[in-house]
Structure 1
Amino acid sequence: MALHLWLTFSLAYLITSLSPGPNVLLTVRNALRYGPSGMGMTLFGNLAAQLLAISAVAMGVGALLVSLPAAFLALKLVGAGYLIYLGLRQLLARRPASIPAEQVAQVSNHSKWRIGLEAFLVSVSNPKTLVFFCAFLPQFLEPGRPIFGQFAAMYLSMALIVCLVHSVYCFTAYRFGQRLKASRVAAWCKRATGALFIGLGVRLLNTKAV
C-alpha cells in the first residue's frame, strides 16, 4: 500500500471514528465500570468483530449480504434488538451504593470474557459496519498489488486508530467521572447511557442497505 494512499485512508478513517457510536459508548461504559481491563476486553471484542467484517468484505461476502434484503433485515433486527436490550438493562439495573474493592476485582475477573463477547456482538450485529466497509475499503485498493496485504494493512491501521480514539474518550469520561462519582449526576449519566443505547437501536431500525 503506497504511503500517500495509506495516509489518506488513515485520515479518512480517523475522521469517521471521531463520531461516537455504540462501540465507543460501550467501551466508555465498561472502562468506567471495570477499569482498564474492561476497556481492553471491549476493544478486543470490537476489533475481533471488525476483523470478521473486513474478511467478509475481502472475500466478497459483505457485498453479497448487503445485496440480499432478507439477510440485511435479519441482521438489522438482531443488532437493533441487542442495542435496545443493553439500554433497557442499563436503565433498569440497580447497583448497591458501595461495593467492597475485593468484590469489584472478583466481578471484573469473572466477567472479562463476557465483556469481550458483548462488545463482539454489538459490533458484529450492526449491519451499518458492513455497509460502511463495503463502500469505504475498496476505494483504497491498488490494482496489481496483493489484496490480502492491502486489507491487512488497512485493518492494522484501523485497529490502531480505534484504540487511540476510544482511549481518548475513556480518559475524558474518567476525568469527568471522578468529579461526578459521588453526586446525583452520576445516576443521571447512567440513565442517559441507557437511553442512548435505545436511541441507537431505534435509529438502526431505519438503516437502509443503500
Structure 2
Amino acid sequence: MTEMTILAFALVAFIGIATPGPTVLLALTNGSRYGVKRATAGMVGAVLSDFVLIGAVALGLGALLAASEFWFTVVKWLGAAYLAFLGIMLLRSKGTIQVASDDSGMATPVSTLAIFLKSFLVAVTNPKGYLFFSAFLPQFIDATMPQVSQYATLALVFALVDFVVMLGYAQLGAQAATFLKHSGAVWLDRLCGGALLALAGSLALYRRATA
C-alpha cells in the first residue's frame, strides 16, 4: 500500500464523514449540550465503532449482510429504531446546556459512559456502514500483499479522520451554545432530532442491493 493510496483513501473518507450523518450530528449536539471535553466520549465511541465495522468487514460480516436478507433486515431495523429513539428524545428535549453545571462541579444527569455508548451503538447498528466498508475498502487493498496490515492501516486512517471531523462538529456545537439563548438551544436540539428521524426513515426504507 503506497502513500498515495493512503492519501486518496483519507480524502475520500473525509468527504464521506463530513457529510452530516448520525455520529457527526451526535458530536454536534454533544458539543452544544456538554462541551467539547465531555463530547469526546462520544467521539471515542464512534471511533471504536469504526474499528469494529472494519474488523467485521475484514472477517466477512459485510458480505454476510449483503447476502442475507434476514440478517440485513434485523440489523437495519435495530439501527432505524435506535436512531428514531434518539431523534424523539432530542425533539422532546428542553434544550438544556450542561456545560455550566460541569464547571460548577455539580453532577450532570448524563454520564460519560452514556455519551460513549450512544455514539457507539448508532454506528454498529447501521447496516449501511458494513455494506459501505465492504464496497469501499477493497478498492484500496492490494490483493498481492498481506491484507491484515492493510485493513489495520485503513482502519487507523479512517478513525483519525473521523475523530478530527467529529471534533470540528463538537467545537461548532460548543461555540453555538455560547451564543444561543435557551430558545435557540431548544431549536438546535429539534433540528438535530428531526435530522436523526429523517436518517432513521431513510435507513428503514434502505434496501439491500441484489445481484
Task: Provide the alpha-carbon RMSD of the alignment.
Answer: 2.1
Residue 76 of structure 1 deviates from its aligned partner by 0.6
Extract unaligned runs of 5+ from structure 1: none
- Match of 1:76? 76
Q: CA deviation at 1:115?
A: 1.1
Give the Å deviation of 1:90: 1.4
Q: Does 1:196 align with 2:171?
A: no
1:24 and 2:39 matched: no
Partner of 2:108: 107
What is aligned with 2:185?
A: 186
SS of residue paired to 2:111 = helix
Q: Deviation of residue 83 (structure 1)?
A: 0.6
Query: Structure 2 vs 1, CA of residues 104 and 118 (structure 1 numbering), >3 Å: closer, same or farther?
Result: farther
Contact 2:23 2:123 in 1 (8 A): yes
> In the alignment, residue 66 of structure 1 is paired with which amino acid?
A
How far off its partner does 1:186 sit?
2.2
Aligned length: 208
**Residues 37 and 112 in structure 1, CA contact (< 8 A), matched pair in contact too:** no
The residue identity in structure 2 corresponding to 1:107 is: T
Q: Secondary structure at the match of 1:204?
A: helix
Q: Which amino acid aligns with 2:17?
A: S
> Counterpart of 1:193 in structure 2: which amino acid?
C
Question: 2:61 & 2:195 partners in 1: Cα distance?
Answer: 31
* Deviation (angstroms), 1:105: 4.9
1:63 aligns to 2:80 (yes or no): no
TM-score by length of 1: 0.90
Deviation, 1:34, is 1.7
Structure 1 residue 45, shift from structure 2 partner: 1.0
User: 2 CA distance for matches of 1:95 and 1:172?
Assistant: 16
Mapped contact 1:41–1:113 kept (Cα < 8 A): yes
- Does structure 2 retain, via aligned residues, the 8 Å contact 1:49–1:124? yes
Whole-Å separation in 1 of the counterparts to 2:101 and 2:56 = 44
Tell me, which stretches of 5 or more residues in structure 2 are unaligned?
Answer: none
Shift of 1:121: 0.7
Mapping for residues 29-44 of structure 1, pairs under 5 Å: 29-44=29-44
Whether 2:208 is the aligned partner of 1:209: answer yes
Alignment match, 1:153: 153
Q: CA, structure 1 residues 100+197, in 2 after alignment: closer, same or farther (shift >3 Å)?
A: same
Sequence identity percentage: 32
Three-state SS of the structure 1 residue aligned to 2:145 is coil
Matches within 5 A, 1:112-151: 112-151=112-151
Code of the aligned partner of 1:38: R
Q: Distance in 1 between matches of 2:128 and 2:159?
A: 18
The normalised TM-score by structure 2 is 0.90
Please tell me the residue identity of whatever aligns with 2:108.
V
